[in-house]
Amino acid sequence: MCGIAGLCGWRGDWRSNIEKMNERMAHRGPDAAGVWAEEDGSVVLGHRRLSIIDLSEAGAQPMLSESGRFVISYNGEIYNYQELAERLVAGKKVSGFRGSSDTEVLLAAVESYGVQEALTQCKGMFAFALWDRKERTLTLARDRVGEKPLYYGMVQGSFVFASDLNSIAVLDGFEGRMDVSALSFYFTHGYIPAPYSIYEGIRKLPAGTFLTVKAPFGQCEPVAYWSMKEAALYGQAHPFTGSRQEAADELERLLKRSIRGQMCADVPLGAFLSAGIDSSTVVALMQAQSSAQVRSFTIGMEDAQYNEADAAEKIAAHLGTKHTRLTITEQDAKAVIPQISGIFGEPFGDSSQIPTYLVSKLTREHVTVALSGDGGDELFAGYNIYGWADRIWGKMKTKPRLLRKAAGGLIGLLPLDEKEGLGLKGKLLKADGILDVYRMNYDRDPLVRRLAPDGVGIRPFYARVPEGLLDCPLHEVMLQDMLLYHPDDILVKVDRTAMAVSLETRVPMLDKDVVEFAWSLPLSFQRQGDVGKLVLRDVLYRYVPKEWMERPKKGFSIPIRRWLAEPELREWAESLLCPDALSRSGALDGKAARQIWEDYTERGIWRPQVWYLLMFQQWMEGRA
C-alpha cells in the first residue's frame, strides 16, 4: 500500500510541487519517498512507499522496466504476481527478475502483453500511473472494484494525478473551486460518487477502468477493462447448477485461495474481527491455512448496544487466534470526531468512519497489513434493508397499481405537519418494484432538497441498473450497491481511515473469482426472509458453532445521534452549524441547514443529514 502522484506538462517548479504532493500523502507510505522525472521535466512521477513485499531497494519506486521504456508509480498489491511471474518466465518473455516485488512483475507484464491484457491477467487491488517513454503516453489504471483511489484532472493547464485528493490541493496555482453540482448527491447519500469529486476539474478514475493521455496531455475518457454489471449479467445467464452444499464447497475453495494469496507479506499481518459473519469467515479461513496463530483485532464499546467484543473474543478463542481487544470509551471516540473529516480530502458522511479509524489505529500498533470482511453484505444479500424492501414490496404488489399511486399522491399533498410519519409511506405506494422501493428509501425530503442546488442527481446512477436488467429484482438492488455505495462509501471509508495510520487493508471477498461466482448464485442460496448470506454462513458454520452467529446484526456503528445531544459535542456541532458559520460556506441554503439542526435539537427529529452537514462544514473550516 502506497501513494502515487504525478505532473505532466507542469508549468513551473516541478520539483518543489512533486515533493509537496509526496509529503502530503506521507501517511500512505511512511517508509520511503521517490521521484522520477524526464530530463526536460515534462513528466514527473512521485511515490510514497509502505513496504509490504520485497522490503529491499529492489522494490523501490518509481520503477523502470528492464528495457527502460516504461516507468511506473504503483499503489496496491497484485496477489497473483508469483503465478504471473512464472508465466512470464515460462513463455520466455523475461529471463528473470532483479527482486521479488509485484511492481517489477507488473512492469514486465505490461511490456510483454500491453496494458489492457496485463490488467485482465492481474488479480488484486491497485492504482497505477505508467509512463511510456517511447510513445509518450501516460496510462492511469484502477482495480476492478475500486479498492484503491486515484484522482486526476487539470491544474493551471497541466495534467495531474494522485492517490490523495489533498495532494492535488497543495499544488501551486490550485484554485480549489468547489463543484457545487456534487453537493445535491452528497447531502442525499453522504458521499460523492465517481467520477465526481468536490473540486471542479478533478475526477475520480472509476473502478475497473484505465485512461491514456498523450503529450501534450489533454483530458480523455476512461475505458473499462472489467465491469461489475457485465459480471452480474454473465452470472445470471450462467447460473450455478449444483446444490447449496456444493455452492458452499466452491465458495470455501475460492475464499481459501483468495485469502491464501492475500496473506502473502514480508511484514506482520492480521485481520479485523468484528464477530459478524464476514470477518469471522475470513479469520476462520486464515487460521485454517496457517501453521502459526493468526493475529485478530477488535474494539469494544462501553455501550452494550454497540459492543460485540465479547462475541469476537469467544470466536477468536475457538479458532485459536492471537487476539487483541481494546475497549474504547465514549471519550476516545468523541476525541476523534473534530479531526475525522481531514482524512478524506472531501466531505464524507458515513459515521462508521469513526470506529473504522479506531480499529485501524489499534491494529497498526501490532501489524502492517490487515484483512477485512467487507463485501459480504453486497455479494450475498446480507443487509437488513434488502429484507425490508422485499417485505414492503410483497405487501404492496397485491394492491391495484393505480389505487396505490393515487393514495401516495394524496399523502404527498398533505401539509408537512400533517404527513409526518406518512411521507415515506406515500412515496413507497408509488413504487413499481423492489428496486424502486429501495431507491425511494433514500429520496430526499423537501427540506433536504433545499440544502444545495440541483446538480449531480441520482437518476444517471440509477440508470446503470434499469428495472428488469437481471432476472432477480433483489439482485438488481445488490448490483446497484456494488456499483455505487460499495466503491464510493464502504471502500473509501476503509482505505482512507486505515491509510491515515499507515495500515494496509486487504479484502478477500472482492477477489475477482469470488465476485463472479457470487453473481451466479440463485437468491435462495443467499437470502430467505430475514436471513441473508446463507451460503456464506454454510461455510462459516464448518468452523464456528452456528448458534454463536445467530444473533441480531449490530453493524459497525456508534450512537452518534445521542452523542450530539450531549454538551461536549453539541457545542462543537453548534459552532459549525450556527448562522454565521453556515453563511461563510457560501454553498448551502443556510436556513434549510439550520432548520435541519433545530429539528434535531428542539424537536428530536433525526436526519442523517445532520452528520453530513457537520462533516461538510468541518471540511470547509479545514480548507480555510
Active-site positions read 2
Torsion angle of C-alpha atoms 46, 49, 53, 54, degrees rounded to 10: 80
Dist. CA 338–CA 618, nearest whole Å: 8
Burial 559-596 (b: 16+ CB within 10 A, else e): bbeebbeeeebeebbeebbeeebbeebeebebebbbeb
Alpha carbons 186 and 205: distance in angstroms, whole number: 18
Q: What is the DSSP string of 129-142?
A: EEEETTTTEEEEEE
- How many other C-beta atoms are found inside a 10 Å radius of the C-beta of residue 136? 16
Which candidate, 89, 125, 116, places its Cα nearest to that of 105? 89
Q: What is the 3-state secondary structure (H, E, C) of 150-197?
A: CEEEEECCEEEEECCHHHHHCCCCCCCCECHHHHHHHHHHCCCCCCCC
Residue pair 385/439 in contact (Cβ under 8 Å)? The answer is no
Beta strand pairing call for 295-301 and 322-328: parallel
Q: How far apart are CA 181 and CA 456, in angstroms?
A: 5
| HEC assignment per residue over 590-604 | HHHHHHHHHHHHHHC
* Inter-CA distances, 403 with 398, 400, 410, Å: 11, 5, 11
Of all helices (H) and strands (E), which one includes residue 503? none
Q: Specify the long-range contacts of residues 98-103, CB closer than 8 Å, at least 24 apart.
A: 98/58, 99/54, 99/56, 99/58, 99/59, 100/53, 100/54, 100/58, 100/59, 101/53, 101/54, 101/58, 101/59, 101/63, 102/53, 102/77, 102/78, 103/59, 103/61, 103/63, 103/72, 103/74
d(CA 527, CA 531): 6
Phi, psi of 410, rounded to the nearest 5 degrees: -65, -40
Q: Is 121 exposed, middle or buried (0-12, 13-18, 19+ CB in 10 A)?
A: middle
